[in-house]
A and B are shown apart, each in its own frame.
Chain A
Amino acid sequence: MASLAGTTISISSRPWQSLQAAKEFSSVKSISFSSIRKSLPVIRLRPASSRLQICCAAKSETLEKVLKIVKKQLALPEGTAITAESKFSELGADSLDTVEIVMGLEEAFGISVEEESAQKIVTVKDAANLIEELVKSQSC
């Protein structure tokens, strides 16, 4: 297990004492840290420009609307964890749910979704991204 102690990195209980090449060291570092990295919370940097801020606000508003429609369609029990990363298949959506959700999204956002695009949607985030794209292109 690798640990960070002040400015030094100590690797304990491993026979990596004689680290020769830098390449070896970096590969050891990635092996040691990858499991830790997974459990660290992801830090999202705040956008610098205001344009980015508006973009992100719009995206999160879209996401909120999508989540609302999905929750309504799937009648998820109270307390079910549903986020942008949730996969529709993991939420128990079957094919009829999926087409109903797509239709609900079309009506809510005034867009038209092609079957091919709909088929590519795996997560809630995918749906929100697709909607953003379609709203932008269909309003021009």
Chain B
Amino acid sequence: MRRLLRGDMLPLLSNLVSRRLVISSLPSLPPAPLPSRREAHLWYVVPNELEDASLLQDYRELLSPCEKENILSIKGEALKKCAILSRVLVRTTLSRYTDCKVNPRLFKFRKNRFGKPEVERQIGALWVSSSLQFNISHTSSMIACGITVDVPIGIDIEEKQRKPVNNILSLAHRYFSPYEVQYLASFMDPETQQSEFLRLWTLKEAYVKALGRGFSGAPFRDFTIRFEKSTDSVVPEQPKSEEFRIMIDTAFDSENLTANWQFALVELGGSHLAAICMEKDENMSGTEQDFLKLKVWKTLPYVEDKCMSETDAVKNISGLS
């Protein structure tokens, strides 16, 4: 900003907005059209694909002073890189949805009273015209950011091959609902059981994150995720069928755990599971409500964006229309 202030006069606000505030040597980002009401957009980055140290340095310059300080206290170069990429992914993704009128550097974030991060719509004299909702998730090998307009969104990603250190049924007994424990116990093959565990885990995480009440605000054992065959009959022995939908049951007396949420579960890049949860549109009726539209892009911000929807990189497991 300082470089734009000339000695003689302050630039007009319209000049500030229309001029791209390029503070580093980075090129501009392509803008992205806003998701529609039933749509979620997902942008993901693969940390291993960033090998250029000077690009990482440019990315670091996009962060706020507070974020930069947090990065300093993270131990290990790989973790630092992921932390930087995570913030860059959020900032650049949000910027795209403002038609790139708001420089990624300018976004400010706050936490709701339960600690869920939200973006401020008022940035100095600028106003972000759409109510952008976002949620991030990361593993060491992929970072993802989900975006919706107006409706809360939660996402969770996990490496498909992730093997919990503890015994799966012990974990399920400790954290999941009785129905889910029974469901997992029905799988004899340990690999299938592991895979089903991760599916349930990511879906439950995505729900809790969408609700935005924190882990203790929505204890995992207080709600059940289950897979229901689209023909409305429950067939737990055929989990690999793609014709099932994801349902959520919450206790009747629970006022905090609402059930008007829709889910999607996809496989990303052949290596990761991604669960997306967003609020249902009450204006829609029947089974139309249960499926959401998802658009996916793979990105290395300022270098390359690739639309991955409709490709093999995004494999619907359940929930997509």
Beta-carbon nearest neighbor of A73 in chain B: B165
Q: Is the pair B216, A119 in contact by a Cβ cutoff of 8 Å?
A: yes
* Contact status of A96 and B79, CB under 8 A, knowing A90-B74, A115-B216, A119-B216: no
- Taken together as a complex, chains A and B put the C-alpha atoms of A63 and B140 apart, in Å, by 26
Q: Mark B106-149, 1 if CB is under 8 A from A, else 0.
A: 00000000000000000000000000000000111000000000
Q: Is the pair B205, A81 in contact by a Cβ cutoff of 8 Å?
A: no
Interface 9-residue window, one of A6-14, A33-41, A98-106, A129-137? A98-106
Q: Is the pair A94, B215 in contact by a Cβ cutoff of 8 Å?
A: no
Beta-carbon nearest neighbor of A103 in chain B: B174
Identify which of A81, A104, A115 gathers the most chain B CB atoms within 10 Å of its CB: A115
Q: Is the pair A96, B162 in contact by a Cβ cutoff of 8 Å?
A: yes
Measured between beta carbons, the chain A residues less than 8 angstroms from B65 are none
- Taken together as a complex, chains A and B put the C-alpha atoms of A77 and B214 apart, in Å, by 30
* Secondary structure of the A contact surface, majority rule: helix
Q: Is the pair B164, A115 in contact by a Cβ cutoff of 8 Å?
A: no
Identify which of A87, A100, A104 gathers the most chain B CB atoms within 10 Å of its CB: A100
Q: Is the pair B73, A87 in contact by a Cβ cutoff of 8 Å?
A: yes
Measured between beta carbons, the chain B residues less than 8 angstroms from A95 are 156, 205, 215
**Is B219 in the interface zone, CB < 8 Å from A?**
yes
Classify chain B: how many residues form its interface, as a range: 20 to 34
Which residues in window 25-82 of A have CB below 8 A to B?
72-73, 77, 80-82
- Taken together as a complex, chains A and B put the C-alpha atoms of A114 and B174 apart, in Å, by 11
Q: Mark B212-242, 1 if CB is under 8 A from A, else 0.
A: 0011100100000000000000000000000
Identify which of A96, A104, A118, A119 gathers the most chain B CB atoms within 10 Å of its CB: A96
**Is A116 in the interface zone, CB < 8 Å from B?**
yes
Beta-carbon nearest neighbor of A104 in chain B: B166
Q: Is the pair A115, B215 in contact by a Cβ cutoff of 8 Å?
A: yes
Q: Mark B77-88, 1 if CB is under 8 A from A, else 0.
A: 001001000000
**Is B75 in the interface zone, CB < 8 Å from A?**
yes
A16 CB to closest chain B CB (Å) equals 29
Beta-carbon nearest neighbor of A79 in chain B: B76
Q: Is the pair B166, A103 in contact by a Cβ cutoff of 8 Å?
A: yes
* Contact status of A99 and B140, CB under 8 A, knowing A116-B216, A118-B216, A119-B216: no
* Contact status of A77 and B76, CB under 8 A, knowing A72-B165, A118-B216: yes
Measured between beta carbons, the chain B residues less than 8 angstroms from A86 are 75
Q: Is the pair A99, B171 in contact by a Cβ cutoff of 8 Å?
A: yes
* Contact status of A96 and B75, CB under 8 A, knowing A103-B171, A119-B215, A119-B216: no
**Is A92 in the interface zone, CB < 8 Å from B?**
yes
**Is A91 in the interface zone, CB < 8 Å from B?**
yes
Give me the interface of B with A, judged by CB distance under 8 Å: 73-76, 79, 82, 138-140, 156, 158, 162, 164-166, 170-171, 174-175, 201, 205, 214-216, 219
Give me the interface of A with B, judged by CB distance under 8 Å: 72-73, 77, 80-82, 86-87, 90-92, 94-96, 99-100, 103-104, 106, 114-116, 118-119
User: What 9 pairs between A and B have smallest CB-CB spacing?
Assistant: A115-B216, A116-B216, A90-B74, A119-B216, A92-B79, A115-B219, A100-B166, A103-B174, A119-B215
Q: What are 19 residue pairs bridging A and B, where the CB atoms are less than 8 Å apart in the complex?
A: A73-B165, A80-B75, A90-B73, A90-B74, A90-B79, A91-B75, A91-B79, A95-B156, A95-B205, A96-B158, A96-B164, A99-B171, A100-B164, A100-B171, A104-B165, A104-B166, A115-B219, A118-B215, A119-B215
